[in-house]
Structure 1
């Protein structure tokens, strides 16, 4: 017997539940996966609620999940399955490539996301990766995810849009507890120029002194690298 109570097989095949509302697609995917070896399709579901029920009953290693199906969508099914049976990996296999679908699936707990146009080997590789506890995304989806995080605005800049880039640099150092002389040395500015920047920052942030500016800056995430003791 295996650790989860199932009888071990000679091939130790990955047990898969396919969820899709198109029977022809399900049959084709089943034949594709089983022909590659090492994967056993134990059941098929045509909607989200059926997938939840069969996943709870059969405890497959992987649920291959479509997203938009009559009678219950794949996002809710994914969320329920990953919450009630965390050991089961969900691999989304869908036609939808929009950001809303991708990130909704990720938030629901899906470990992988592929498009239905993916090749047989790519799908089989993803099933094996998800069964092993890895996260895997098709090339286009991976690019979307990377682009999303790369293009995210710096929250420190978004917090104080009224400040110039130089003023944000000065505020960062103020939040670290630096004196005007230390800021001048760090940014290669004169102390007079630093004093002018500090005055502009106080005016734009509507604060009366350095202490109030530090509080606002640290609440926005600035000054996380504080000055070490003894730093000149």
Structure 2
């Protein structure tokens, strides 16, 4: 069997170290990179070309759901396994909508971690048993009933919306994204017009509601 190459993405150093230690004990699975936010993860996927990404959800700068959507769109051959502490169906639903093929709870055992990694490497899906029985039926129902509320804004606008919700200033956003402050202001104005939300507090509430920013 060819070696499964993966990247670990979590903003907690000790969590990444723990996963690396567990994965390195598994045959034919290799950690080839680590990232502490979604934006760095995108860069690593482009340069290292892994088979699989183990992705946390709640991270600064770019969260795991947004990073997953970007990876799935730009690198369709790469599979994403969300690894999260949240068993709530809504988190799982949003992960699936973002394009993740699997959802694993952080309190899972090493055997389940290996099952999930190998399932995704084969192109299959994997959901932790603790969440799967509640999620699949609801997910299918929702697909037929509603669209993704984030579909109405562009990927760049989603990125800026998350940074606004994290309390970043216009100047800070411009520096992070290597764009001008005027461009940031234009995107913010377009966001407000498109979402019909006309104050920063409203944008923050919207970002939390649709999962761009997660409350601990």
TM-score by length of 2: 0.63
Partner of 2:79 in structure 1?
Answer: 89
TM-fit CA distance, 1:147:
5.0
Partner of 1:25 in structure 2?
Answer: 15
Partner of 2:27 in structure 1?
Answer: 37
Structure that is richer in helix per residue? 2
Higher RCO structure (Cα 8 Å, ≥6 apart): 2
Partner of 2:62 in structure 1?
Answer: 72
Aligned residues of 2:38 and 2:61 also touching (Cα < 8 A): yes
Q: Name segments (4+ residues, structure 1) moved above 3 Å.
A: 149-152
Question: Does the residue aligned with 1:124 lie in a helix, a strand or coil?
Answer: helix
Partner of 1:61 in structure 2?
Answer: 51
Taking only aligned residues, the RMSD between alpha carbons, in angstroms, comes to: 1.9
- Residues 97-137 of structure 1, C-alpha deviation per residue, up to 9 Å, x if partnerless? 22221111101100000100000110111011111110110
Distance 1:149 1:112, change over 3 A: closer
Unpaired runs of 5+ residues, structure 1, are 1-10, 156-232
Distance 1:150 1:75, change over 3 A: closer
Q: How does 1:146-185 map to 2 (within 5 A)?
A: 146=136, 148=138
Structure 2 distance, partners of 1:142, 1:59, is: 29
Q: Which has the larger radius of gyration?
A: 1
Question: Does the residue aligned with 1:36 lie in a helix, a strand or coil?
Answer: coil
Partner of 2:130 in structure 1?
Answer: 140
Partner of 2:153 in structure 1?
Answer: none
Partner of 1:190 in structure 2?
Answer: none
Partner of 1:114 in structure 2?
Answer: 104
Structure 2 distance, partners of 1:66, 1:56, is: 18
Question: Does the residue aligned with 1:53 lie in a helix, a strand or coil?
Answer: helix
- Residues 183-219 of structure 1, C-alpha deviation per residue, up to 9 Å, x if partnerless? xxxxxxxxxxxxxxxxxxxxxxxxxxxxxxxxxxxxx
TM-score by length of 1: 0.59
Equivalences, count: 144
- Residues 151-193 of structure 1, C-alpha deviation per residue, up to 9 Å, x if partnerless? 88x99xxxxxxxxxxxxxxxxxxxxxxxxxxxxxxxxxxxxxx
Structure 2 distance, partners of 1:146, 1:109, is: 14
Structure 2 distance, partners of 1:104, 1:146, is: 12
TM-fit CA distance, 1:37:
1.5
Q: How does 1:41-52 map to 2 (within 5 A)?
A: 41-52=31-42
